[in-house]
Structure 1
Amino acid sequence: MNLFRFLPKRLKRRASRFRPKSFPDHYAYAAFFDVRSRLFAGDDMMILEYPDQATQELLFQRAVEKFDLTGKKIIDLGCGLGYLKGYLDKRAPNYHSYLGVDLSEEMVRGARKRFGENERARFVKRDILAEPFSENEFDVGFLISVLGYRIGADPEGYMKTLLREFFRINKVGIAFTHLAPGRRADPTDFTYPPEAMAAWCRKELSEKVVLDDWGGVSYVVAVYKE
């Protein structure tokens, strides 16, 4: 029985702000969201740690507008409850196919329930580091609101390994978000300076990088192969 559903929303919101300062690995990170999906059932933005859907859609907009998605095969890594798929269906519906990937079983189940599946769109549980996709298997990859957590003994190393692998499997490029330092007072945030992030991408992934930093808590980086 989920006793949290009887709490007033303000108390739920306060409880939802709790998270560990770090996770031992990405499986523990996924398990954290399995638990959140049960505790805060009925409030998707609370589960996903967004203050509201407008904030979520601003990130989607600024990431999606970096690419022409017409006819493109899209992978959404860390898809959560699948809201990017819903956004694409409204704002960029001419994509070829969409694959939402998450390590959380509850997130994948929830995404299927909310947005369904068909021959163009699927949601799967998969660890792309343990079960890699083929090189350039997709066209465009999105990694939204995933990197702001300390994972493993070397969070920066894990992040860069994930970005290298994600870039490898996309033919056109990737867009991802990260948290900028000093823009909110949350000691659990794993942040990275925007200019330093863009510089690393130019050095390690591709010289074709666009940094979109509007001064908010998050920023977007797009990296292109072509």
Structure 2
Amino acid sequence: MGSNSDIRNFYTSHLKKYGKHDIRAMGWHDEEEYSVRFEICAKIASLENSSVLDIGCGFGGLYRYLNSSRVKDFSYLGIDIMPEMVDIARKKNPTAKFRVGDILKDELLHFDYVFAIGTFNITTRGYSSYFFRAMKKMIQIANKGIAVCFLSDKLYLAKGPYHFENSARIKRKLEKEFNVEARIIDDPRLKGESCLFIYKH
């Protein structure tokens, strides 16, 4: 695939334009669009006493959501390819662990649940291959399940450097290749995105 430089350039320009306190720097349109995805994805299971990996953590919004929802005794690690995002996440969430990381390049420990919320929305050359290799890696390191939220309907974002996948095709492919149970979560609030819950047998 093409390098991550296209993706880094997208977020670097958005950070410069919107600043470190505006969620539009992460490519989201507004707070509701941003937070509702955490609400939906966190329903994958009870996360109490669970370890959580947040891939493409951005400003650490998933960690804040789980804390505000009073999820008890969970451990959390957020990773992002953007050092600037990690610095902001650390300042906003001093009690959480964040580090610069790439799901495919780094050796990662096993976690009960792995989340990727909007992580794969910005594209570069050969990104479909990257997407499925990343899904494979997430399945390998998850003990129990994965929640991934991705673009699936061009009606809402017809123009721009956006990556779209067909949720039904992904479900079939993952269940066939990895012996997992995949569930498509339909929620009208997602507006052009699909959420997929993947459970390990």
TM-score by length of 2: 0.90
Q: Distance in 2 between matches of 1:85 and 1:146?
A: 15
Structure 1 pair 222–114 and aligned structure 2 pair: CA distance change class (3 A): same
Q: 1:185: how far off?
A: 4.0
Q: Distance in 2 between matches of 1:169 and 1:124?
A: 17
Q: Distance in 2 between matches of 1:95 and 1:26?
A: 34
Q: 1:131: how far off?
A: 1.7
Name 1:174's counterpart in structure 2. Answer: 146
Does 2:107 align with 1:132?
yes
Aligned length: 198
**Which residues of structure 2 form unaligned runs of 5+?**
none
Name 1:17's counterpart in structure 2. Answer: none
- After superposition, the C-alpha distances for 1:121-155 in whole angstroms (9 at most, x for unaligned) are 20100123222214xx111010000112223x321
Q: Distance in 2 between matches of 1:92 and 1:220?
A: 23
SS in 2 for 1:201: helix
| Structure 2 residue corresponding to 1:159, chosen from 98, 122, 131 | 131
- After superposition, the C-alpha distances for 1:172-201 in whole angstroms (9 at most, x for unaligned) are 111001111333142332111221121122
Name 1:199's counterpart in structure 2. Answer: 172
Name 1:64's counterpart in structure 2. Answer: 42
TM-score by length of 1: 0.81
Instruction: Provide the identity percentage.
Output: 22
Name 1:73's counterpart in structure 2. Answer: 51
Q: Give the partner amino acid of 2:132.
A: K
**Which residues of structure 1 form unaligned runs of 5+?**
1-22
**Bigger radius of gyration among the two:** 1
Q: Distance in 1 between matches of 2:47 and 2:13?
A: 34
Does 2:201 align with 1:223?
no
Q: Give the partner amino acid of 2:139.
A: F
Q: Distance in 2 between matches of 1:131 and 1:185?
A: 31
Q: Distance in 1 between matches of 2:27 and 2:159?
A: 15
SS in 1 for 2:44: coil
Name 2:8's counterpart in structure 1. Answer: 30
Q: 1:31: how far off?
A: 4.2
